Structure 1
Amino acid sequence: MRVHIDQDKCCGAGSCVLSAPEVFDQREEDGIVLLLDAEPPAALHDAVHEAAAICPAAAITVEGAEGV
């Protein structure tokens, strides 16, 4: 699995951080998403897929894993 983020699309909702805090964080100054782990372990794949699915700005894309 490889995770990509588009900071230009991010609206700072923070739902990704709630779903997968090991993979996503937010910048202090504006809440824009930060990618902590572009290739998370298998144990986090479900959480990353959930984060991508619930992102209101569709700023997260996932490739190379089932369900893509």
Structure 2
Amino acid sequence: MGLVGYLVEATDGEVGAIDRRTYDGRQVLVADADGALLQVDVNSVERIDHRDHRVYLGVSRGDLRRR
């Protein structure tokens, strides 16, 4: 199932959405509110809600790496 367009939620709030141009299936890159890309390690994903199109992380926004 593709995750492009899913919203990403860190433990301290929404990060952004998974972007088609940067999603490679192994690590997920998301665009945050100011247009910067954040790298998300797939091991930080706690759950995926396909009904609401959201990916929930077990880390804070500060734990994500800028790319």
Higher helix content, 1 or 2? 1
Higher strand content, 1 or 2? 2
User: Is TM (by shorter chain) over 0.5?
Assistant: no
Q: TM-score, normalised by structure 2?
A: 0.31
Query: Which one has more relative contact order, counting CA pairs under 8 Å at least 6 apart?
Result: 1
